[in-house]
Amino acid sequence: MIKDVLHQPFELILKEPMDVCPRGMHQVSFFEFVYIVKGKGKQLINETKIDYSTGQLFLLAPEDGHDFVFETTTQLFFIRIDHIYLKDNSKSLLQKIELILNNVNKIPGCVLKKKEDKIAVNAIMKAIIYEHQNKTRYSQELINSYIGTILVIVARNLMIAVPGKIDAMTDHRITGILQYVQANIYSPEKLRVAVISKEFNVSETYLGRFFKKQTNETLQQYIETYKLKLIEYRLIQSDLRINEIVDQFGFTDKSHLNRFFKKFHQVSPSDYRKNNLN
């Protein structure tokens, strides 16, 4: 399968309207938004076939394969983002990006679930396309700002649509607990069982049993796994020093982080970073 690569922090591609998709199934090695400027048809993402229509926004993660079947004349706009772009962003935006990366494969279809967000993103996409085509003074700065806004909007929609390990049979009450954990993952004091049980007005014993029944893992396991994914991402996709990661996740010191990380990888965070960057 052909794999697309990116040689710059991010790239914008506005395709001409077409009646037939000129490419077959191919993979991406980057983070890609696919915006449907106009048209109707089906998109195949990995093994899932999804209907698309004008104004929808799709998201592809690295190693995703995709293809299109156009049913009407279709125009596509691609925003391709490399890890270099992600590294250069603020801590707040980085946290939004991490949320997206950890959940992107869990949502089939358009990533915009709120009607008002679809309207907002429509306007933002039109603004990006305008700046991309006209390239006037400060166009690049505006495009950067617009992309950051889209990332925040998508992160909000992911929090609504995929709070965690949820399926059709899951008790809806677990949704709030999972959203709470994800929103407070950088604040260890808010992730204590006593604090969470008080937040949701249940006993600590009940919270533990309920969480295990709904997700098939303990609350502590979920917190640790989610935190681990965020740390892994930062080690590979950011230039943050180990001590900065220690501070941001509330570890007492570097040794504390090392002990936590070695429970899962048997190597230190520093070695994990070296191994994966090489």
pLDDT tens readout for residues 200-248 = 999 999 999 999 988 889 999 999 988 898 888 778 766 788 998 999 8
Pick the range with the lowest mean pLDDT from 26-35, 99-108, 166-175.
166-175
Q: What is the pLDDT of residue 167?
A: 43
Domain residue limits, the chain = 2-161, 173-277
pLDDT tens readout for residues 133-186 = 998 889 989 998 999 899 888 877 876 655 444 443 345 678 778 878 877 888
Residues pairing with 2 in the sheet: 26
**3-state SS, residue 71:** coil
Residue 124 has pLDDT above 90, yes or no: yes
d(CA 7, CA 32): 14
Per-residue pLDDT band at 76 (split at 50, 70, 90): very high
Burial 13-29 (b: 16+ CB within 10 A, else e): eeeeeeeeeeeeeebbe
Angular region, 148: left φ>0, alpha ψ -120 to 50, beta rest: alpha
Q: What is the pLDDT of residue 100?
A: 65
d(CA 238, CA 273): 10
Is-contact 12 78, C-beta < 8 A? yes
Q: Could you name the CATH architecture of 2-161?
A: Sandwich (2.60)
| CATH assignment of 173-277, among 3.40.190.80, 3.40.50.12780, 1.10.10.60, 3.40.50.300 | 1.10.10.60
